[in-house]
Amino acid sequence: MTDLPRTPSFRLDGRRALVAGASSGIGLGCAVAMAEAGAHVVMAARGREKLSAAVGAVRQAGFSAEALTLDVADLAGMRAAVREAGPFDVMVNSAGLARHAPALDTAEGDYDAVMDANLKGAYFLATEVARGLVDAGKGGSIITVSSQMGHVGGIDRTVYCASKHAVEGMTKAMAIEWGRHKIRVNTICPTFIRTPLTQATFDNPDRVAWITEKIKLGRVGEVEDVMGAVVFLASDASALITGTSLLVDGGWTAG
């Protein structure tokens, strides 16, 4: 009889997952997806009240979750919180910021705010989680929610694109360094996803027409479109995947 290969498990039972930016939108979707797959999810965000409501909803649905107040741009506070709560088998960083403007009109304060959240915060959150794994002698999966704009350019998005392109390079280098520790490092790169933070964009018919013309599947993204991707990268089903990006862009970057 032929011995058949078996699909690696997509389950996350017994694993602890940290999700930054988990109180709404893509971050909340990632937290729910991993909780559904059996993980205990530590949901982190800056706003205590909104985070508490999100954690309560996840628990009410029958899943395992707890709250952690955390600001990725506050490096000292973030490091202390991660060290106390860790180590984590999985980390998903969905915290980020966008302040769009023409390049010639970019204010220094906006530049610093975007870079502090999207790059500096992402960098040091990833290193702190990795440090906990290395100290514990454990492997793990580190995932940053990047963007399709980490692979292409966009009008009025020069600073945002710069931050996300940098995240893609950071991810490759971290994957090379931490591979020997069995720590995988990847990004998820969504297209325009409908969330409370992006609703203003979707309220503009001209902008929606531009988006749907660029997305080859002809529709905007929903939070649910990202949820399967994060479970895949968090689980053993992606055990040989590191240093790369999973584009959830409906074909935007294909041509």
Q: How far apart are CA 254 and CA 212, in angstroms?
A: 14
Cα–Cα distance between 54 and 40 in angstroms, integer?
A: 14
Do 172 and 151 form a contact (C-beta atoms < 8 A)? no
Instruction: Indicate which residue of 160, 172, 182, 216 is catalytic.
Output: 160
164 is catalytic: yes
Among 144, 21, 139, smallest CA distance to 78 is for: 21
Which amino acid is residue 27, in one-letter code?
G
Q: Which tokens in the block code for residue 127?
A: 């290193």
Dihedral sign for Cα 196, 197, 202, 203, please: positive
Which residues contact residue 120 at a Cβ distance below 8 angstroms, ignoring those fewer than 6 apart? Answer: 73, 75
Three-state secondary structure string covering 29-74: HHHHHHHHCCCEEEEEECCHHHHHHHHHHHHHCCCCEEEEECCCCC
> Hey, how many other C-beta atoms are within 10 angstroms of the C-beta on 232?
18
Q: Which two tokens mark 116?
A: 């502090």
Per annotation, catalytic residue among 138, 164, 182, 216: 164
- Active-site annotation holds for 160: yes
The catalytic residues are: 160, 164
